Amino acid sequence: MKFYYLIALLFLSILSYGQTDFYRFSDDIKKIQEDSAQSASWRGQMGATYYSISGKYKPALESWDMVFGRAQRLSTADSLKLTKLIPVNAKDYILNRASQEKIIIINEAHHNASHRTFASSLLQGLYDRGYRYLGVETLANDSLNTTKFANLKSGIYSQEPEFGNFLYHALKIGFKLFPYDAEGNGKEREIGEAKNIYNFMQQNKEGKYLIYCGYQHAYKGVHTSWEKTMTGRLMELTGLNPLTIDQTQFSEKSLPKYNEPLLRLVNNTVPVILKNKDQTVYNGEDQKMFTDIKIIHPNTKYKKGRPGWMLTENRKFYKVPASEITEYPVLVMAYRKGEFEQNGIPADIIELNEPKDSRFLILDKGNYEIIIKDRKYNVNRKFEVTLK
């Protein structure tokens, strides 16, 4: 199915629920899937997108795996080979390499919010090493360079809280953000994206470039249908060899049986890359389509009912007072002060269906407006809080 057709369907579905109801209750997302006349593949992918946007990490994985989940096995010989690999902290390795690079391209799975959190963790270190420009596939325009935060019209995937936080932090650090997506499908789109990035580079030469994309756009080598990816086309235009990073292959799935066997062998607690004894980086078995680095993300450990990877260095738990919840179910959304009125992206979202549900938001230090919506998506409570 063509990319832009999928996006058009997504927007139509959003509009059918009302323009402001971008963040939904789980039951409504299930109903969208059940009522859709589209294919099972579309229902799985779009369900994963809706769950992700609404801050529901595990259901997003589950919806995706309804379509793409496959049991993974590893031969004894491969297992012995892979157990000899040495794990190295992925963030440290990337930042060490970054000083030598001009362009870094890192991808994500569009339904996996943890990838945005990891990318965000790189931003300050990259800026300190001369990176000044951040190209983001989902962006519709560059207006957020003026507003200094993303809003509901900035893009589709950027409506998700961790994506919104990623863009907010990039702007706060000092990055100039730019869109580069192109119309068309397959080869035409890859060429268009590369040209858009190249044209931006020609007009903005005082600094290095971080490109954030989805899935195979970050891959080098020969693509079966595109011939070359956006990355390959950009290499042709610039004559440069970017450092490419894949987050998608070795990330957890909804069930352990769907995970790449390498995840079970490594058993890491932080994102890592793997090295051979000769210090070369393991970048997977496919050398026709590849990235320079494969990140092995750890399986999520939950704390107070929330994904542990959300608790980055500057974040902390905020427990919503029970006295503020006057009925169930509700959506609780935390907006940086002043952004709710401007259709900004919430910094975090939780759905509460009964009193025993975890009331913990995870937020950076700062001033927030907490918005509580009832089952009909009406705002029934609003209050401010400061986290120090």
| CATH code for position 129 | 3.40.50
Shared domain for 276 and 318, answered yes or no, is no
Any domain includes 299: no
Chain-centroid distance, C-alpha 177: 16
Count of domains for the chain = 3
Residue type, 175: F
Integer Cα distance of 233 and 243 in angstroms = 14
365 three-state secondary structure: coil
Shared domain for 12 and 40, answered yes or no, is yes
Q: Give the pLDDT confidence of 77-121 residue by residue, as tens digits.
A: 778 778 889 999 999 999 999 999 999 999 999 999 999 999 999
Any domain includes 252: yes
Strand duo 293-294 + 302-303: pairing: unpaired
Any domain includes 95: yes
Shared domain for 277 and 379, answered yes or no, is no
Shared domain for 49 and 106, answered yes or no, is no
Shared domain for 15 and 93, answered yes or no, is no
Q: Give the pLDDT confidence of 33-83 residue by residue, as tens digits.
A: 888 888 888 889 989 999 999 999 999 999 999 999 999 887 777 787 788
Integer Cα distance of 199 and 123 in angstroms = 23
Residue type, 323: S
Which of 68, 95, 113 finishes a domain?
68
Residue 3 pLDDT exceeds 50: no
Integer Cα distance of 284 and 244 in angstroms = 13
Q: Would you say the pTM of this structure is higher than 0.85?
A: yes
Residue 366 pLDDT exceeds 90: yes
Q: Which domain holds residue 375?
A: 308-387
